[in-house]
Amino acid sequence: MIEIKEAVTKKDMLTFVKFPFNLYKDSKYWVPPIISQELDTFDKKKNPIFNDAEARFFLAYKNNEVVGRVAAIINWLEVKNQSQKKMRFGWFDVIDNVEVTKALLDKVFEIGKANNLEYVEGPVGFSNLDKVGLMTEGYEHLGNMITWYNYPYYVDHFAELGFKDEKLYSESRFPFKNVKPEFFLKAQELIKKRYELRALDFKKTSEVMPYADKMFDLFNASYASLSSFVAITDIQKEYFKKKFISFINPEYIKFVVDKEDNLVAFAIVMPSFSKALQKTKGKLFPFGFRHIISAKKNSKDVVFYLIGVHPEYQNKGVHAVIFNEYYNIFTKKGIQNCIRTPELEDNYAIHQIWKHFSPEVFKRRKTVKKDII
């Protein structure tokens, strides 16, 4: 018999966060989260997303053992401001038993129906800066800290339960040696001169902070046209600054400004923390910090996390300025591999940016959808 219990207490939430550690204990490719950060993400007193969203967390039990989990999420900004009657689900993990999957998702549908929503979509997080997508290809490749990993049978479960594909994503990579400066070196000089632009170079995290709010504003502006985009609110900006920026080498944050110091483009690249996180086993103390700091300084793989260009400057080659900045720093640091996070397959503009580097798609993922009846 499968029993579904809502995770409410601190002990319950710790069980919720730690379930994947058991499920993927034999996987060479799963990358664990930092347990304390996951708990903070779900803490309604710490994560400002709960000002505009709500979530309930469920655990599935069979024979008194945890066999699955799911977060049922409603982003009210999406529902009210965009008229998207969407019930979200995320942080979904389960043993290979479709009845467990059904029992967990039944709770998601139940909440969606009670709130007069029209369909369920997932796996997604609270916002566009959270993890997204069910992996459909690339199971034999190491994950990273900003994507979910799952076993192949997840796909079969959703198909059996009548879910349909909604959004398709791809993840690409290319060796740094593929980056040829002739594709952008002269162009970036002409573009800077034509539009009176300059690139900002940071040495300390404290130097980034005065521009961070502008970056999130530009993120909102440059991604607004994409499907399912939900803008970041002012209070969320403060949260994300604390959560993410300390993890990023300041020299890996690139801003391009105009003559009046207005931000027109930005990019964020992170060192790959995948192997370091596997060594930490979800804990920063007592030794986890050492692995994270070592990866931050020494990782030869980098992950392109975000890139955004103001709508007025799109299709004007401004990304050449950003590429030139990264080429210089990556050459200096001896970077070997460049990895791109999930990008919508119909986001043709972003795919065009990378075409000269001969990227290889090595993972695919999707969200799935089903109407609430």
Q: Which two tokens stand for residue 193?
A: 């001169």
- 3-state SS, residue 138: coil
Residues 121-177: tens digit of each pLDDT: 999 999 888 999 999 999 999 999 999 999 999 999 999 999 999 999 999 999 999
Mean pLDDT over each residue of the chain, to the nearest integer: 93
Q: What is the pLDDT of residue 231?
A: 79
- The pTM for the full model equals 0.93
pLDDT at 224: 75
Q: What is the pLDDT of residue 29?
A: 98
Band (pLDDT 50/70/90 cuts) for residue 338 is very high
- Alpha-carbon distances, residue 226 vs 128, 214, 311, 344, 350 (angstroms): 10, 20, 12, 9, 12
Q: How far is CA 260 from the centre of its chain?
A: 32
Please give the average per-residue pLDDT across 45-50, as a whole number: 93
What's the mean pLDDT in 363-367? 98
- pLDDT over 90 at 246, yes or no: no
Using DSSP, state whether 73 is helix, strand or coil.
strand
C-alpha span between 226 and 329 (Å, rounded): 31
Q: What is the pLDDT of residue 323?
A: 95
Higher-confidence residue: 237 or 8? 8
According to DSSP, the residues that pair with 339 across neighbouring strands are: 173, 303
Strand partners, 170: 343, 364
**Which position has the higher pLDDT, 122 or 314?**
122
pLDDT at residue 59 tops 90: yes
Q: What is the mean pLDDT of residues 188-216?
A: 92
Burial tier of 80 (Cβ tally within 10 Å: 0-12, 13-18, 19+)? exposed
Distances (CA, A) of 289 to 36, 46, 93, 250: 13, 22, 27, 18
Model pLDDT, residue 228: 64
pLDDT value of residue 210: 86
For residues 312 and 229, which has the higher predicted lDDT (pLDDT)?
312
Which of these ranges, 34-48, 198-212, 290-304, has the smallest mean pLDDT?
Answer: 198-212
pLDDT-above-90 percentage for the chain? 79
Distance, in Å, from the CA atom of 151 to the CA atom of 125, rounded to the nearest integer, reads 19
- Residue 301's region, left for phi above 0, alpha for psi from -120 to 50, else beta, is beta
Q: Once rounded to an integer, what is the mean pLDDT over residues 300-304?
A: 96
Could you give the domains of the chain?
Answer: 2-170 (3.40.630.30), 175-364 (3.40.630.30)
Q: Are 102 and 161 in contact (CB under 8 A)?
A: yes
Query: What is the SS3 assignment for 59?
Result: strand
> Collapsing DSSP states into helix, strand and coil, what is residue 203?
coil
Question: CA-CA distance, 314 to 117, in Å (whole number)?
Answer: 35
Residue 227: pLDDT band by 50, 70, 90 thresholds? Answer: low
Res 20: pLDDT? 98
With H, G, I as helix, E, B as strand and everything else as coil, classify residue 72.
Answer: strand
Measured in whole angstroms, how far is the alpha carbon of residue 258 from the centre of its chain?
29
